[in-house]
Amino acid sequence: EAQVTQNPRYLITVTGKKLTVTCSQNMNHEYMSWYRQDPGLGLRQIYYSMNVEVTDKGDVPEGYKVSRKEKRNFPLILESPSPNQTSLYFCASSFQGTSGRYTQYFGPGTRLTVL
């Protein structure tokens, strides 16, 4: 079954304590991305990766880091979390075929609370 998994699904932490949210896909997709969702602000892209070792900033990259050492994994790292990073986070992977067909899958989300 094609899927994007995120861990943990829920996390409550304190300001300044480094954390990593993992994202893994089993579809061999080259493209992966991270988003945060906040009430009234919709979704905002944090980082995206077009392939292994290729990452780029989205609209709100401040306070986040990512790495893409292997195709299936794209972890999101918060080196020093702050309360304004309390949010619902989604990871996604996608593929654009040569025929033009486009498929995209989202993970189930990670609800992060930073106290």
Q: Point out which residues bind another protein (CB under 8 A).
A: 30-31, 33, 35, 40-45, 48, 50, 56-59, 90, 92, 94-96, 100, 102-104, 106-109
Cα dihedral 63→21→8→85 (10° resolution) = 10
Q: Which of 47, 20, 52, 51 is nearest to 35 (CA)?
A: 47
Residue placing its CB nearer to another protein in the complex, 15 or 96: 96
Q: Return the amino acid letter for 51.
A: N
Query: Shortest distance, CB of residue 12 to another protein, whole angstroms?
Result: 18
Residue placing its CB nearer to another protein in the complex, 80 or 104: 104
Terminal Cα distance for the chain, rounded: 36
> Which tokens is 42 given?
């919709």
Residue placing its CB nearer to another protein in the complex, 44 or 71: 44
Query: Shortest distance, CB of residue 100 to another protein, whole angstroms?
Result: 6
